[in-house]
A and B are shown apart, each in its own frame.
Chain A
Amino acid sequence: MGKIVLKNICKNFGEVKVLENLDLTIEDGTFTVLVGSSGCGKTTLLRIIAGIGPATSGEIYLNDEEISDVAPGRRNIAMVFQNYAIYPNMTVKGNIEFGLKNNHVPKAERERLISEIAESVGLTELLKRKPSALSGGQRQRVALARAMVKKPEVFLMDEPLSNLDAKLRIQMRSELIELHKRLKTTFVYVTHDQVEAMSMADKIVLMEKGVIQQQGSPEEIYRNPSNVFTAQFIGTPAMNILKLPNGCHMGFRPEKALMSETAPYENCAYRTQGQVLTREMLGSETLYKVMVAHVDGSSQPVMVKMTEETIAEDRSVRIAVPEKDLYFFDREEARIRKEEKPGQYEECLRCLREVRT
C-alpha cells in the first residue's frame, strides 16, 4: 500500500510562491511521473512528500494517515537523489546498511537483506568498494539499493538518470520499469524530460509555474491535451500552434500533417501551401521545416514529420491536416473540445473554411 494524497499544498520561498493550493492524489502501486520545465515546482513537491522540504501549509496523507508532521525517516518513504547523495566515507555495504542500523534491524537480518538487494541490483561484487571507486551507473545502483533495502511504501526519484550518459540512461530506464513491475510499490518520479515521462509513466502529472496543467496516462496527455502548454510540452517536435482570425488557436502535431507537392487533399479541414525551408533526416523519419501561408495572410514556419524523404529543400508543397487531427484552443489557451463546446469548435472550423474560400 502506498497511496499519497496532497491537499491544499502551498510552498513559499520567502516572497516567492512556488506552489499554491495544490491538490494531487497518487494511487497505490502506480508509476507517477511529475514532469515540467525547470523551476515548475516538481522537485519541491517531491521534497514535500519526502519531508525534507516541508510545505508552508497543507496536508499530506499516506494511506489515509496524515504524515505532514512526521519526520522524513519515519514516513516509510525512500528517495533516490539526482546526485545520488551516497555517503562518500562509507563502503557500498555501509551505505545500504546505514538506514537499517538506524532502525535497529538485527545483524543477521541486515546481512540477509543486503545480500538479497545487492544481488537484485548487481552490486554483490562491489559491496566492499568506496563510492569514489564506482562508475556513475554503479553509484546509481547503490542509491537504488539503499532505497530498496528499506522496503518502503513509496519510492521517490528526483531526476535519477540525468547524470548518466545517453546509452546507460536508456538501459536504466528499462531497469526501473522492470523494478516497478517487480516491487509493485508506488513510484513518484521527477523529470524534465518528456520522453522519459512518456516511456516510464502509468500516469503523468504535468506541471508549470507550480500549477498542475494536466494529469493522465501518457496516451491521454499526448492525444487529448487540455491546453496549449500540454500540447506543446509533450511530443517532439512540439505541436504546431497557429493563431486563427477569431483570436483562438489551432494546433496539429508534426507527425499528423500530410504533405506533398501535388496531392490536393480535398477532404482535409486544414489546407495550405508552403515552401520547404530545411530538411533533417533522422533515420526512420524526416523532419521538415516549412514556411506556410497562414490564414491571416502572414507566413509562419511549421514542422512536419514524415516517413518519406522525397521532397527536397526550397520546393513548393501543399500541407493538409484532417479534422480528427486538429486541436482548437480558446483565447486563454484552454482546449475547445467538440463534445464540450460544439459552438466554439464549429466557429474555429468555419474560420479555416473561410480562409480557404
Chain B
Amino acid sequence: MTLKSKKEEAGGKKKKGLRSFLSNKLPPYIMVAPAIIFFLLFTVYPIVDMIILSFYEWNVIQPRKWVGLWNYKYLFDIQIDFKIALQNTIVYTVSEVFFLILFALIFSVWLQKDSKVNAVLQRIMFFPHLCAMLAVSVMFSWLMDENGLFNMVLSFFHLPGLRWLNSSSTAMMSVVIVSVWKSIGYQTLILLSALKTIPADIYEAAALDNTGPVRKFFCITIPLLSPQLFFMLITITMSSFKVFDSVRMLTKGGPGKSTVVLVYYIWSYAQSNLKYGVAAAAGVVLLVILLILTFFYFRILDKKVHYQ
C-alpha cells in the first residue's frame, strides 16, 4: 500500500468517524439541549450566582463589594431576626408535616369505603387544592377577622373570640390552619389511592390471624402506605420550608416578627432593605438545610420504607 493511499484511508476513517458522530452521537444531545440550557440558565446559574453574591455587599445600584463571610456573620451573629425566621420556619414545617399527614391519614381511612357520599366528599375535599393561594388567603383573612365567621361561631358556643392573624400568639397557628386546609384534599387523595391498592385479602388474612383494629392499622396499613408517607414527608417539608405567598398575603410576617419565615425574610431583605448580599446568604443557608434534610430522610428513613 502506498503512503498516499494510507493517508486517504486515514482521511476516510476520519470522515467516517465524523459522519457517525453527526448521525449517531450528536442527535441525542441536540434533543436534550433545550432542557439542559434551561436548567443551566434558570437553576444552576442562579444558584452559583447566589452563592457568589452571598460573599458581596450589593444594593443593585452600586457595584458589588467583596465582604467575605460578613453576610453570614450578619445572619447568625449581628441580627437576631434570621434566627427568628429560621425558628418560625421550623415551627411551620413541623406543624404542616404533622397535621397534614395526620389528617390525610384520618380522612383517607374514613373515605376509603366506596360509597356515593364518600365520592362526593372526596371531590369537595380536593376543591381547595384547585383554588389560588391568593384567593384562599383573602377568604381566610375575612373569616379570621375579629368580627369574622370564626369568632361568631366561637361566641355562639359562649367561647372567647381569638385575634387569629392579629395576635403574635395565634398568627402562626392561623397560617398553618389555612395551608393545611388548602392542601389536605390533595394529600388525602394520594393516601386514598395508595390505600385502594392494598389487596383486600391481606386484611382478610389479618382478620383470620385475630388482628385487632389498632394493630391492623399500625402493623399493616401504615407499613404498606410507607412509600406514599415518605413521599409526603419530603414534599411537604420542601414546600413548607419555601412557604411565602400565604404569609405575604395573610400577615406580612407580623404581628411583630411572629410569622416571618425564611423565604419571606429573604424577600424582604432583597426587596425592602436592598441588602442582596444578606438575602443571598440566607438563600444559601436555606439551600443547605434542604440538602441536609433530604439526605437525612433518604439515608435514615428509606430503610423503613416498604416498597412492594
Contacts and interface: CB of A to CB of B under 8 A. Distances in A.
A74 B199 CA distance: 22
B206 to A, nearest CB: 8
Given A88-B308, A89-B223, A102 B212 contact: yes
Interface residues on A, range: 20 to 34
Interface stretch (A78-86, A109-117, A256-264): A78-86
B204 A85 contact: yes
Nearest to B215: A102
A73 B207 contact: yes
Interface residues of B, number: 20
Nearest to B220: A87
A355 to B, nearest CB: 55
A98 B209 contact: yes
Nearest to A150: B209
A311 B3 CA distance: 79
Which of A78, A98, A103 lies at the interface centre, i.e. has the most chain B CB atoms within 10 A of its CB? A98
Interface string A71-105: 11110011101110111111000000011001100
Nearest to A152: B208
Contacts of A60: none
Interface in A306-351: none
Nearest to B211: A102
Contact of A99 (B202, B209, B306): B209
A71 B223 CA distance: 24
Contacts of A103: 210
A71 to B, nearest CB: 7
Interface string B183-224: 000000000000000010110111111111001000110011
A81 B211 contact: no
A50 interface: yes
A73 B202 contact: no
A85 B201 contact: yes
A79 B208 contact: yes
Interface in A220-254: none
Nearest to A104: B210
A85 B209 contact: no
Contacts of B219: 87, 90, 98
B230 to A, nearest CB: 13
A87 B207 CA distance: 12
B202 A85 contact: yes
Contact of B207 (A52, A82, A88, A150): A52
B306 A83 contact: no
A13 to B, nearest CB: 14
Interface in A40-85: 50-52, 71-74, 77-79, 81-83, 85
Contacts of B215: 102
B209 A88 contact: no
A83 B210 contact: no
A85 B201 CA distance: 6
B224 A73 contact: no
Nearest to A156: B208
Contact of A52 (B204, B212, B226, B306): B204
B219 to A, nearest CB: 7
Given A88-B306, A98-B209, A102-B212, 10 more contacts: A51-B208, A71-B207, A73-B208, A74-B210, A85-B199, A85-B204, A85-B205, A86-B205, A87-B219, A88-B202
Interface of A: 50-52, 71-74, 77-79, 81-83, 85-90, 98-99, 102-103, 132, 146, 150
Cβ-closest 6 pairs across A and B: A73-B210, A99-B209, A89-B223, A85-B201, A85-B205, A89-B306
10 contacts: A51-B207, A51-B208, A73-B209, A79-B204, A81-B205, A82-B201, A85-B199, A87-B219, A89-B220, A150-B209
